[in-house]
Amino acid sequence: MITTRQLERRLAVITNWGVAGSFGLGLIQTGFGDGNVPIGLAGFGLIAAGFVSQVIVNKLYSSRFSRGEIAFGIAAFGIAVLTFIFAWLFDPAFDGADMAIGISGFAGLIGCFLIYLIARYGLKGSFSMFHRAGEPS
Amino acid sequence: MSEAAVWLLAFVAIYLAYCVYWGAASGRLAVSADDFFLADRSLPPWIFVLAATAASFSGWFFLGHTGLISADGFQFAQLSLCAVTVPLTGVVFLKRQWLLGKRYGYVTPGDMFADYFQSETMRLLVVFIALIFAVPFVAMQLSASGMLIWILSDGAVGPRVACWVLAAVLFLYVCIGGFRSVAYVATLQGLLLAAGLAATGLVAYGKLGGVAAFSDALALLGTTDIGPWGQTAEGYNANLVIPGVIQFTDGLGLETPVGGPWTAAMALSYCFALMGIQAAPAFTIWAFACRNAKGFAPQQVWASAAAMGLLLVFFAVLVGIGAQFLGASPAVTDGGLSLSPWLSDAAGDAPGLLVVHFIHGLAADNPWFNGLLAVCGLAALQAMIALNLLAAGVILSRDFYKRYLNPAADDRSLTLYGRVCLGLVLIAALLVASYMPSTESELGALALPFAFQFWPALAAVCWLPWLTRQGVVSGLFVGLAAVVFTEPFGESIANFFGFSLPWGRWPWTIHSAGWGIFFNLLLCLTVSAATRGGADRNHRGAYHAFLTEAAGLTAQQRMLRPTAWVIVLAWLFFALGPGAVFGNDVFGAPNAGIGAWVLGVPSLWAWQILWWALGVLMIWFLAYRMGMSTDSGGMRASGVVFEPPRLPDTPVADWRNWFWVAVVGLSLIAAAHWMFAR
């Protein structure tokens, strides 16, 4: 049975993404739709802020990203990147502003993730973590 | 159905699913009545910070406050400083109520007052106020929710249907999860409220073309008399100034104040009403439910005074007054002062719905934004509805059912009756919202000024042992009566019996909360002086001895006490009291043009920003430096649940006697109405 502390952490995570995620995705959508680079980047900035907030929540609750959260995060990021690439390749209305938003935004998110890994596990530890993850159990 | 309506319904569906999820998750932890009523007194500080802020500011600030700024200009925007006064009530009382709750195991404010004053009347008054909050006040918020969905869905969903569906979901999660679910859901509601206010403010900023363009437009407006209140007695445009310290008018409805109703006296007394938010019974329950006191100071200083203050002083002004230049004011548009006539004509018709029209204006270009901001508005409204609904259920269950009907009730039946009571209260609120709109507004207007009348009672419990039961109870009765008879409900009562009051609403431009507290204090102090001493004093002294031991001032804080008094009184005088009128032209006359404005914005706005910043410092000083909201005691022991002494089993308590008293009383009232009413 889930404890009160676990429930509170879950609440913090969902609340955080409820605001940062909804406003962030909306702004990204408007940024791409209107070709408005500042608005699109503000959306990516909110997603990055949501990620940083979750790191803080993890710290406060002495926990790490759960497997479900990691899976969800990677899947969502992967789908978003693939959608961006397909739109770039096949959407005739895709222009320079869209490219600027997408490339800067995704680069920023990847940067955040790398900074987190290095801060959390150290430079060597981050590589070792991936190395270990690839080994047969 | 339009694309905006589809986005709206999708966002609302996700939001409602979120509410139900937390209701179910909290419900699994609600084993005992203490779990259901008070979340096992274990809510962590960060939840308190977000949820209490949502409940304090709620839909009124999201919708009503901004709308009235648009209607009445900077004279109403002075009330944005309530971001400082609302938490002031919490600074003064919250920690001490929390300490008493931990020490004595109180569950409801009725428990606390009845035990401290040894008065069942106080318990019943708490029940009465909680019901005023829970039925008409909740009905007002439910109506606003329905209107919001109706307008933003382009009429695809009717207001009544929306109202009932939202209420059903609300009932579901409050009923299943109890106080924990109310608090959990309110965390998101708090963030959405702030995000919604910020987002609408930023949109207004963009539409106006920045603060410089906005100020230029205001400077032009200052040279005219355009606006609903024309010019003040000093010849300034009433949009840009406070129309005097006080005006001795007969009251709204009988005599119109020159230059608008929001004099300094009105601003101060209206802020008193808003200070009732944290003096209301529901907030005492909040105090009892907290795990520790660590959340109090951050909520009061940073979340309320600083963050909400920032949003109200800057963003609400940009939306509210900015709307006049965006098409909401036909007079401004006709006068050629409009910057971008982007809002629909309907936006200026009902001030309370301005923000809804503002959001609707975004639907064409950004339909997702329409849906998301609608959820922000809904969340803001529901934060206060859920808290007051739950409080009514808790109070009726403990202070009425268990106290008077079934003293032997166990946890299971208490929880059951709590759920039944909150269901009944919600149905009553829905019926009022759906079928009695005038009753809703008349009774709903009483809620906050009524709650503010608890200040002397709370002061007695938390600080002043020399205030007696007789003084507090009689003061409270007179205060409530004064509130009633300076509001439209009092006029309706008078008309029912065939006569008219010689004054209108808010005579002398003093809000009913101001009249109420004046008479309340007058009687409370007089009667307390006449009934001081005796065994009751020793009884009350025990509570204060505990509070002095647990929350007494240090030597340094005792030295700072006179300074604190001076700071608070000076702030109240200059920010909201008579000194606020200095702000009218101290930084440049409103009609002298932008070149004469020292800070590049209207003098009164600059004055509001200045006193907001000083207000944050004041709340910080009281909460942290004076230790009024911090606790060095760490985790305080709890585990006791207060059990009031049994009531004497006398024939007077027999319900049949009270039934016949009610029958005779109602007959007399009906006869008086039949004989005298016009």
User: Is the CB of B29 less than 8 angstroms away from the CB of A4?
Assistant: yes
How close B373 gets to chain A, by Cα (Å)? 10
User: Is the CB of A19 less than 8 angstroms away from the CB of B188?
Assistant: yes
What H or E segment, with its residue span, contains residue B8?
helix B3-27
Contacts of B295 in chain A (CB under 8 A): none
pLDDT the model gives residue B467: 95
pLDDT the model gives residue B205: 93
Nearest CB partner across the interface for A19, out of B26, B191, B366? B191
Task: Kindly report the backbone phi and psi dihedral angles of residue B201, in degrees, each rounded to the nearest multiple of 5, phi listed first.
Answer: -65, -40
pLDDT tens figures, B67-123: 999 999 999 999 999 999 999 999 999 999 999 999 999 999 999 999 999 989 999
pLDDT the model gives residue B131: 85
How close A12 gets to chain B, by Cα (Å)? 8
Contacts of A22 in chain B (CB under 8 A): 11, 372
pLDDT the model gives residue B597: 93
HEC string of B218-254 equals HHHHHCCCCCCCCECCCCCEHHHCCCCCCCCCCCECC
User: Is the CB of A22 less than 8 angstroms away from the CB of B29?
Assistant: no
Nearest CB partner across the interface for B369, out of A2, A10, A26? A26
Contacts of B372 in chain A (CB under 8 A): 22-23, 26
Q: Give pLDDT < 70 ranges for chain B.
A: 634-639, 649-655, 677-678
Nearest CA in chain B to A30: B366
User: Is the CB of A30 less than 8 angstroms away from the CB of B368?
Assistant: yes
Beta bridge partners of B505: B252
Please report which confidence band the pLDDT of residue A131 belongs to, taking 50, 70 and 90 as the band edges.
Answer: low
Contacts of B42 in chain A (CB under 8 A): 4
DSSP codes, B307-329: IIHHIIIIIIHHHHHHHIIIII-
Task: Kindly report the backbone phi and psi dihedral angles of residue B281, in degrees, each rounded to the nearest multiple of 5, phi listed first.
Answer: -55, -35
DSSP codes, A44-86: HHHHHHHHHHHHHHHHHTT----HHHHHHHHHHHHHHHHHHHH
pLDDT tens figures, B15-42: 999 999 999 999 988 888 889 999 989 9
The dihedral over CA atoms of B397, B400, B405, B411, expressed in degrees to the nearest 10, equals 30
Q: Quote the CA–CA distance of A19 and B183 in Å, as a whole number.
A: 17
pLDDT the model gives residue A24: 95
Contacts of A7 in chain B (CB under 8 A): 25-26, 29
Decide: helix, strand or coil at residue B651.
helix
pLDDT the model gives residue B655: 65
Please report which confidence band the pLDDT of residue A137 belongs to, taking 50, 70 and 90 as the band edges.
Answer: very low
pLDDT the model gives residue A134: 56
Burial category of B652 from C-beta neighbours within 10 Å (exposed 0-12, middle 13-18, buried 19 and up): exposed
User: Is the CB of A15 less than 8 angstroms away from the CB of B11?
Assistant: no
User: Is the CB of B372 less than 8 angstroms away from the CB of A12?
Assistant: no
Any CB–CB contact under 8 A between B187 and chain A?
yes
Mean pLDDT of A78-97: 90
Any CB–CB contact under 8 A between B25 and chain A?
yes
Cα separation values, B571 from B22, B100, B212, B564, Å: 41, 30, 29, 11
User: Is the CB of A18 less than 8 angstroms away from the CB of B29?
Assistant: no
**What value of ipTM does the predicted structure carry?**
0.88
The widest CA-to-CA distance across chain A, in whole angstroms, is 52
How close B410 gets to chain A, by Cα (Å)? 24
User: Is the CB of A26 less than 8 angstroms away from the CB of B195?
Assistant: no
Q: Does the pTM of the predicted model rise above 0.90?
A: yes
Classify domain B3-647 by CATH number: 1.20.1730.10
Burial category of B106 from C-beta neighbours within 10 Å (exposed 0-12, middle 13-18, buried 19 and up): buried
Nearest CB partner across the interface for B187, out of A11, A26, A29? A11
* Cβ count within 10 A of residue B522: 14
Q: Quote the CA–CA distance of B9 and B3 in Å, as a whole number.
A: 10
Judge contact between B238 and B263, C-beta under 8 A.
no
Nearest CB partner across the interface for B184, out of A11, A26, A30? A11
Contacts of B437 (CB under 8 A, 6+ apart): B143
Q: Quote the CA–CA distance of B507 and B523 in Å, as a whole number.
A: 20
* Cβ count within 10 A of residue B239: 33
pLDDT tens figures, B246-302: 999 999 999 999 999 999 999 999 999 999 999 999 999 999 999 999 999 999 999
Any CB–CB contact under 8 A between B290 and chain A?
no
HEC string of B439-491 equals HHHHHHCCHHHHHHCCHHHHHHHHCCCCCCHHHHHHHHHHHHHHHHCCCHHHH
Q: Quote the CA–CA distance of B566 and B571 in Å, as a whole number.
A: 8
Decide: helix, strand or coil at residue B303.
helix
Contacts of A10 in chain B (CB under 8 A): 25
Contacts of A23 in chain B (CB under 8 A): 195, 199, 372
pLDDT tens figures, A110-130: 999 888 888 887 877 777 766
Q: Quote the CA–CA distance of B383 and A31 in Å, as a whole number.
A: 31
User: Is the CB of A22 less than 8 angstroms away from the CB of B372?
Assistant: yes
Decide: helix, strand or coil at residue B575.
helix
Both tokens of residue B376? 């922000």
Q: Which has the closest alpha carbon to B407: B592, B586, B644, B81?
A: B644
Nearest CB partner across the interface for B368, out of A1, A11, A26? A26
Percent over 70 (pLDDT), chain A: 93
* Cβ count within 10 A of residue B213: 14
pLDDT reading at A63 higher than 60: yes
Beta bridge partners of B237: B231
Nearest CA in chain A to B24: A7
User: Is the CB of B42 less than 8 angstroms away from the CB of A4?
Assistant: yes
Both tokens of residue B348? 């200026």
How close B48 gets to chain A, by Cα (Å)? 12
Judge contact between B605 and B590, C-beta under 8 A.
no
Instruction: Using alpha carbons only, give the angle B386, B389, B391 rounded to the nearest 5 degrees.
Output: 105
Nearest CA in chain A to B181: A11
How close B290 gets to chain A, by Cα (Å)? 14
Beta bridge partners of B290: B43
Judge contact between B389 and B130, C-beta under 8 A.
no
Contacts of B18 in chain A (CB under 8 A): 14, 18
CB pairs under 8 A between A and B: 46
Judge contact between B291 and B43, C-beta under 8 A.
yes
Contacts of B181 (CB under 8 A, 6+ apart): B22, B23, B25, B26, B27, B173, B174
The one-letter amino acid code at A126 reads S
Q: Quote the CA–CA distance of B8 and B90 in Å, as a whole number.
A: 36
Q: Quote the CA–CA distance of B43 and B573 in Å, as a whole number.
A: 37
Residue window 44-63, chain B: list those with CB within 8 Å of chain A.
44, 46-47, 50
Buried/exposed B376-412: b ≥16 CB within 10 Å, e otherwise: bbbbbbbbbbbbbbbbbbbbbbbbbbbbeeeeebeee
Judge contact between A108 and A48, C-beta under 8 A.
yes
Q: Which of B40, B43, B182, B192 to mutate to test the interface with A (most CBs of A within 10 A)?
A: B192
> What residue segments make up the domains of chain A, in order of their start?
4-134
DSSP B302: I
